[in-house]
Structure 1
Amino acid sequence: MSATITGTATTRDSARPAPHRPLLVLAVAMAVGAALCVVALILDPRELGGQPLWAKPLKFCLSIAVYSVTLAWLIGLLPRRRRLASALGSIAVAGLAIEMVIIAGAAAVGVTSHFNVSTPLHSVLWGAMAVSIVVVWLVTLVLAALLARVRLADPALTLAVRGGLVIGLIGMALAFLMTGPTASQLSDYQGIVGAHAVGVDDGGAGLPLLGWSTTGGDLRIPHFVGMHALQGLPLLAIALESLAPRVRVLRDAAKRLRLVALASIAWAAVVALTCWQALRGQSIVAPDALTLVVGGVVATLLVASTVVVLARRQEASR
């Protein structure tokens, strides 16, 4: 992106820092790892917790690759504090690498990585994963604070970055809801403390590859939706700006800003809705009437608000 950065400092494109190499190297490594996981899925028929053994490493390879590229891009938006930002990026690389090595290693020996405290070694590994992901969350929080004072040339993109970071941080933090023991674990301890599912045990029927429970609630859904606001909202802002020369109603920067604001509110609402649904032990594929009504209200308000914004665009362009 070639937008000029303004705010507490101004920088030209020629003064932009070089891409954060460790993060990009990690992204490439994760892409290679994802390809290897696909091969392993084909060649290794074993299952763990009702899912293909190599499905979890594949998902984490893809997630870490996307996050690494996103973080490298966000660091590149900072006109100042570049040394601090670079150090934060390197810390994130270390945390993510630790997470991935433990997940892949556990899959290689056919045991679960998450929530596994069945032996002292597994407890240490699970603790290391927990610490590493907290560190990554804190890195993202500090970057969000640094970017809060940075204004880009396109106000819509500025809002998208800020909104994506806030919702993304909330989505990442929702993972901590999964770490407490369930009622069944308290009554019949099997070396596992924590679960993705609510109302049912982990390992039951789930969506292909994603593994999200189809028989009970699943906290991975709001976690996933929230995290990817980091990518979704900025991509929306970039798409709107790219379409502006060809779509007349998008040429007004203020109107693009309003569309991104609506998208941010809607994204946060979906995170809240899916979290509420999961905590009630309700499957994503079997919403009850109340969930459908609330979801319908959110969708209706979003569509109506978008129509109003677009109508005002047309009036302004006459």
Structure 2
Amino acid sequence: MPGSSNKTYSRPPLRPRPLSSRVTAVLASVARSFSKHPVLAAMAGAAAALVFAFLTVESTLRGVTNAILTGYAITTVALAAAATLLSRFAHREELLNHRKLRRLSRTDALTGLANWKSLDAALTAKWGIARRKGVPLSVILVDIDHFKRFNDTLGHEIGDDVLITVANCIAAIIAVTGGFVARYGGDEFGVVLGNRSPEKVLSVASTIRRRVQDLQIQTHGTRQGCLTVSVGCATCEPLHMSSADELKEAADLQLNEAKAAGRNRVRAATLSADAPAPTLEVSP
């Protein structure tokens, strides 16, 4: 029809009444039908009240149960997240502790220098590099003269202070010239130098001997009256030698010869596969 609207109207869907309301309404209707019978009406009313109370409690319990389940789910997720974070933290701590233990296992506890394990590892690594590049490699061994006598006379505490002082002195020199320094034994220190000429190695060794004597650490029963060191060093081209141990043994031999010659001196050798090792000596 003209002027008529095409709009359609629909009722919103009816929501079902709660079960408690429906049951209560039925029981209330039954109670009214028994209005002429007070006892039956009272019984019906009581039944309606009991059902309402039960359904109310049941509805409340269902809400509590849902709340508990929701809380349990949230708690489970939170605990899982916390467990993941704790696991990552524990793993990180384990890595840090492992690195710390590894560092400590390669460090001398008294002087803070690398220890003999680190020196051997550095020598092996630098040996491979020098062999591959065809450049020389050198080892310097430093031994404190008469340290046992000094230690026994003045005590281990002062002896430890002396070791630390000598270690710092050598480390300062190597920090300038380049190289790897370690405490190799009780009163012995080792240095690895890569790609240095024999003359440069001898110069570094002589500097170590002179600087330690210049510390003027007083001793008794020695010719100089102060702490000194003996130094042995050896240089070779790994391409012509069999192993790094051979180089280290050659430096140790030079050290022993320096001590046998009167101590407080440097002896150096250049190793060659074709010729005997010439020996140089620097004494005060």
Shared fold (TM-score, shorter chain, > 0.5): no
Larger Rg: 2
TM-score range, shorter chain: 0.3 to 0.5
- Bigger fraction of residues in helix: 1
TM-score by length of 2: 0.32
TM-score by length of 1: 0.29
